[in-house]
Structure formats: structure tokens, C-alpha cells
Amino acid sequence: MDLRENERRVLLALKGLGGKATIDRLAEASGLAHAAAMRAALSLESSNLVGIRERKITRASLNEEGKSYFEGRLPERRLVEALIKMGGEASINDVLRAAHIEGEMAVIALGWLARKGWAKISQKEQKIRLLREPEVGADEHLLSMLGSAGALVIEDLDDDLKEAFKMLRGRRIVEVNEEIIREIELTEEGWSLLEKGIEVIEEVTQLTPELIVTGKWREKHLVKYNIRAPAPRIWPGKKHPYLRFLDEMREKLVALGFREMNGPIVEVSFFNCDGLYMPQDHPAREIHDIYFIKDPKYGDLNPYKRFLEQVKETHENGWKTGSKGWGYKFSLLMAARLILRSHTTAVSVRTLISDDLEIPGKYFAVARCYRPELIDRTHLSEFNQVEGIVVGEDLTLRDLLGILKRFAIDIAGADKVRFKPDYFPFTEPSVELSAYKEGYGWMEFGGSGIFRPEVTLPLGINVPVLAWGLGVDRLFMMKAGIDDIRYLFTHDLSWLRGKEMI
């Protein structure tokens, strides 16, 4: 068999180690670097000459507090020894002084003294009475072992010491690291090859001028190029799976004839709320639902003065929309209040008053939004939404439902969708979208509807406007098969590397 120099070294080293060794021990015995020994072992494994097994271990060592206990004994041990010298009964303060224990350590020592049943503590009489002279326990034995050895593999301990480890870990005096140990073992074929006899042959991988001029190339073994040799797997830089998903979604929306719209993250309340016919006393405007900018507090609404007056009248008395309005005094100052955008519908309002708006037209935005949510598996305080509007004559609810269905199936990979009536101050009718995927279940994505005349007419739009705003984070969760939204920002490399298909 044509073996490389390092592979021969590894086989001979394994033979000297009894046929089985960890990769660290093997690297040391073969004189190879750890990475070189591992590459050789992988090549030998592909030839069925060795087997490689991995096992997870828990390696424990003492932290600074644990080391102080190792050097000076556990506080309850010092306390009970002082109590024995004092005759087996004494006041709490006297025993603590005799043991040179004070402060927080006194609480720890007294607690473990009672927990181990070594003594009885009378809070009423402020005395301690010895119950039995304690033997050295498994926790003290393990403490001594850890102090002497520096670190121990917990899986190699007997059951008593494993229970003692749980106790020391609960006392937070040990540090724990999980590691993967790789063991290399000769197979029957490997033993058979060694019995036939192999030796280390010095190899060269390329001819140098020196080898040619001196003629030493005749004495060297030239390595053949092995195209079947296993190569190390590499992980080149790439875009995060979620960002790739957003890019693909943009491409699909553009392919469907949508144009992308944009707007600022720091927004005035006029576009985020007032332009959407949301009354200024609406609960969604409260501090627990919107982030308000501290400095500066207000933005400039002068460029939008014409629209602002029409929106103001619509809120107060309905203007020319056929509505009665909300019947309150509209505050221009509140409309100028700066906030962090709480939904992407603010971008839609900006688009509807833009000189670049085309009718008919289809528009979308993928934008970051901010709300002071309690973070859990389904909520983040900042999140992405995909917003869409379709502007044109003779548009109906049926058109909107068709767009949403295609969106959920083509982009989120859903198997089926369902709709149910909903309420928003700025759409009528309003619809909530939920989608289902086999093996994942149903998930709510967001709301949609047809903008009310109270929204469109003050903005100068006289045709129907279909609108939808969906949680794109949740769309990705369904496509990726994850059930915790916080995982979108994970640093778990094994998960990130495994998401090639998304």
C-alpha cells in the first residue's frame, strides 16, 4: 500500500502505544504536529487502517475560591475542628472567631455545617453543639484530587465522586469545560499491515534546484499526487442565511413587478401614525409601544404642509372623505414628534405622497422596525417587516388575498394559508394572514387590508390601495424550521454552516 511518510509515522506510533491512543498522545509519540497527525489519521481512516472515535468529556478544575479551600480546607471543616477543640459545644461567635471565619464566609460555613449534619445550631441560644465527629467526605476527597491534579475528567470518576462534583459545582468553586476527545485505534487491517513490516521513508513533495544539482533526488522518495486523498473541509466567508433570505425575497418581489421603496428609521409621528388615520390618543402611541427620540424631540413638517392640513382636518371632522373624523383637536406638535419607526407602513405613506409614485404601481419595502417588546421566543425589540402596497383602479379584496397567498407559498415555502378578519385604524376591510407548513404548524405573519379613504384622500390618492405588512423574521423561521426568533442572530457556527440551502 502506498502510504505517506506521516501516515507511516502514525501507524508505527500507534503500534508502540498498544494500538490505541488519543490524538494528543499520538502526536507526541509520532513527533508530528497535532494537525499533521490528525490529517494522517483521517487518511488512514479512509483506507480502513484505523478507526477514529469521538467522545465528549467534562473537564473540571478549581476556581480561585476552590483553590483557597484546597489550601486552607473547607470552611465547615475548619469550623467543626474548632468546635471539637472547644469541647463540642460553644457560642456561635466564639467558634467562628476560633476558626478565623467572618463575614459572608460565616454564613457559608454555618450552612454547610448544618447541611452535612455535623452539628446542631440553636439560633435562640446562639450556640453550636457537635452531633458527630465527621469523616472526610467525597466532596473533600474530590477537592483534594482537583487541587493536586489541576484538572480531572468527570466521566472517569466513580459514582460517589460524580455526586461530589455536583456538590462542588453547586457551591460554584469549580470551573467546567466541555471538550471533545478523539481516539485513534488500529483496525485488523492496520495490524495486519504492521505485521508485514513498514518503515518510515523520507519524502519530498517537490524537486528543488539543490536536489537536482547534487543528484540527491535519486535517493529521495517522490510523493505521488493522490487525487483521492481526503482534504480538510473549509468554511469560506459567506452571507448570513437570514440576509441571503432577504436578498432572495427582494429578487422574487422585483420579478413579480414590485419596486422597492425606502424611508428613514428615525421618523416623524405624522408618517408613522397620523397619515395612517391613527388618532393621537391611540394606545399604540404610548411609551410602551413606541420608542421616542430624546434629542431632538421634533422633526420638520414644513415640506409636507399641504398634506398635513388635510390630514389634520380629516382627524378633526373627516374633511372631504365622507367620514366624521375622530372629533378631537389635532396637535401639530405631536405630529412632529420624532420616534423610531414602529412599522413599515410609514414607508408606504411616504411613497404615496412621492412625486415618483406611478399609478398603477406595485411597491415593497423590507425595513427594520422598533418596539419596546419583552424579548422571548417570538418577539424582539427590533425586527424586520416586509411591507407592500398596490395602487390602481378597480382593485378588490380578492386581489389582496391572491397576492398574500402567493407571497406565503412562493417566498415562505408554506403549504397552505388562511385568513381571518382583523382591525387596523387605517384599513377597511382588514385581514390577518396565517400560514401552515408540514412539520412546523401554523404561524401568524401579520396584517393587511385596503387603505381607508381617510388615509388615501388626504394624501392625494383617488384609487384603491392594497396594503400588507408581514413579519419577515417569522417567514424565515418557517422556511428555516426554527422556533425561536432569537436564533436569527445566533453565533452557533454549526447551525450557520448547515444552512446552505436557505
CATH of the domain at 24: 1.10.10.10
Establish if 237 belongs to a structural domain.
Answer: no
Same structural domain for residues 190 and 206? yes
CA 147 to chain CA centroid, nearest Å: 36
Same structural domain for residues 71 and 112? yes
Q: How many contiguous H segments (helices) and E segments (strands) does the chain have?
A: 20, 18
Alpha helices in 197-300 (DSSP H): 209-214, 241-255, 269-272
Grid cell for residue 493:
457556527
Choose from 56-60, 151-155, 312-316, 498-502 the range with maximum mean pLDDT.
Answer: 312-316
Closest C-alpha among 290, 480, 465 to residue 369: 290
Domain region containing 78:
64-134
Among 104, 134, 164, identify where a domain stops.
134
Are 473 and 485 in contact by the 8 Å Cβ rule? The answer is yes
Instruction: Give the model's pLDDT for residue 499.
Output: 61
Establish if 358 belongs to a structural domain.
Answer: yes
**pLDDT (tens digit, 9 = 90+) per residue, 85-111?**
999 999 999 999 999 998 888 999 999
Q: Angle, to 10 degrees, between the axis of helix 64-72 and the axis of helix 138-149?
A: 110
Same structural domain for residues 362 and 448? yes
Distance, in Å, from the CA atom of 265 to the CA atom of 499, rounded to the nearest integer, reads 30
Give backbone dihedrals phi and psi of 302, rounded to 5 degrees, phi first: -60, -40
Instruction: Give the model's pLDDT for residue 369.
Output: 92
Same structural domain for residues 128 and 147? no
Grid cell for residue 300:
420638520
Same structural domain for residues 468 and 425? yes
Distance, in Å, from the CA atom of 52 to the CA atom of 230, rounded to the nearest integer, reads 15
Establish if 502 belongs to a structural domain.
Answer: no
Mean pLDDT of the chain: 88
Establish if 232 belongs to a structural domain.
Answer: no
Work out the pLDDT band at 502, boundaries 50, 70, 90.
very low
Distance, in Å, from the CA atom of 451 to the CA atom of 349, rounded to the nearest integer, reads 10
Establish if 236 belongs to a structural domain.
Answer: no
Instruction: Give the model's pLDDT for residue 229.
Output: 66
Same structural domain for residues 40 and 148? no
Grid cell for residue 186:
488500529
Instruction: Give the model's pLDDT for residue 471.
Output: 82
> What value does the mean pLDDT take over residues 226-239?
75
**pLDDT (tens digit, 9 = 90+) per residue, 374-405?**
888 878 888 888 999 999 998 999 999 998 88
The string of DSSP codes covering 169-205 is: HHTT-EEEEEEEEEEEEE-HHHHHHHHH------EES
**pLDDT (tens digit, 9 = 90+) per residue, 1-24?**
578 788 888 999 999 999 999 998
H or E stretch covering 85: helix 75-85
Number of domains, the chain: 4
488 vs 146, residue with greater confidence: 146
For residue 208, CA distances in Å to 211, 215, 217, 225 come to 5, 11, 9, 17
Same structural domain for residues 321 and 190? no
For residue 382, CA distances in Å to 374, 473, 494 come to 11, 10, 25
Same structural domain for residues 361 and 458? yes
Q: Is 166 exposed, middle or buried (0-12, 13-18, 19+ CB in 10 A)?
A: exposed
